Amino acid sequence: MSNRKPQDNKPQESKSQDNTQLVKQEKSPSERFTEMVEKEFRNGVGKIELTDFQRKLAQNYFISIDMALQEAEKRRKLKVKNQDPVPVVWQNVNMQKLARDVVAYARIGLDPIQRNHINIIPYKNNSTQKYDIGFIEGYRGIELKAKKYGLDVPDNVIVELVYSTDKFKPIKKDHRNRIESYEFEITNPFDRGEIVGGFYYHIYSKNPERNKLVVFTKKDIEKRKPAYASVEFWGGEKDIWENGKKVGTEKVEGWYEKMCYKTIYRAAYNDITIDSQKIDDDYLRMKQMENDLLEANIEAEIEENANKEVLDFDNAIEAEYVEAEPKVKPEPKQEQQGEIEQMSLEGEPY
């Protein structure tokens, strides 16, 4: 009879469990990005505390920025001439600036994964030879910012387009009317005709004397249209390119009604006064980012060809308005000067 003891498999089981535990503990790229953001920000300004929700938003920023960088790099490679030699990749991004910007927008509550919150545009900073990440608020982002920092935020905001078959009558506040109001009737909902204007209406339920009506003519709406607006969104004629040469034009229907509606929507929330007592470091950081983009605008006006192979503000800014973005084209529609001008107009149009 053998006196050998049965083999003990416990160490192997323990090793297997350790390996499983290591796999479970491995962090995703977005989680590592969030930790890097917090680390970079701490190195710059000291202690920082993000809530679990804000950390989730930071991970969403990683996903969106990664997609924007890939798209920008694709456009860079498609350039036949004036191609920037610096690839649009994470290694060439100003990470310390990005960390501060992501923290600010995450604490404000803007989510790049949610439609129409915020748009992301990589652009070359010629002074650092790195890429900065520009953030431009969508119409929902403007709404969230107004509700968070507004002085007297309305209880409700109504935005409407007015068509040629509609009946619209503004009722202005005067000695006969204590409350500013309007009458609005859609007479033919399935064929309303052409857009003739629009309006927004701020409602204060507990203090209706403060209700506010602002009316836009069609001309008023189109004044807010960027000088180099993308025809894929506003409609119009688009150049046709073949082998780097313009060979003709084509008519594009675009999304004119949606652009008009959201132009008024942006105006409605941009009209809410910011409360100076609510301004915090995140709001100040956001305003600094807007100034950085404005400086990029001025630089591009001086040096027309700077960055134009990376920036595509026509598409990036207006992408909030439709389900699908326009396809990447090998030749830009306009010079960089015009594209950055559109960026600044969209950011502060009212």
- In tens, the pLDDT along 32-53 reads 888 877 776 665 555 667 788 9
- CA-based angle 332:227:274, to the nearest 5? 120
List Cβ neighbours of 284 (8 Å cut-off, separation of 6 or more).
Answer: none
Report residue 305 CA to chain centroid gap. 24
The two three-digit tokens of residue 325, written as one number: 């973005």
Rounded to whole angstroms, what are the CA distances from 276 to 209, 273, 281, 321? Answer: 24, 9, 12, 31
Backbone torsions φ then ψ of 267, nearest 5 degrees? -65, -40
The two three-digit tokens of residue 58, written as one number: 């930071």
Say if pTM beats, i.e. exceeds, 0.85: no
- Is residue 160 classed as helix, strand or coil in its secondary structure? strand
Give the number of other Cβ atoms within 10 Å of residue 81's Cβ.
8
- Summarize the confidence of residues 318-335 as an average pLDDT: 39
> Is residue 256 a contact partner of residue 161, using CB atoms and an 8 Å limit?
no
List Cβ neighbours of 286 (8 Å cut-off, separation of 6 or more).
Answer: 104, 105, 108, 135, 145
Residue of 47 and 56 predicted with greater confidence: 56
Residue boundaries of the structural domains of the chain: 27-151+275-350
- Summarize the confidence of residues 303-330 as an average pLDDT: 40
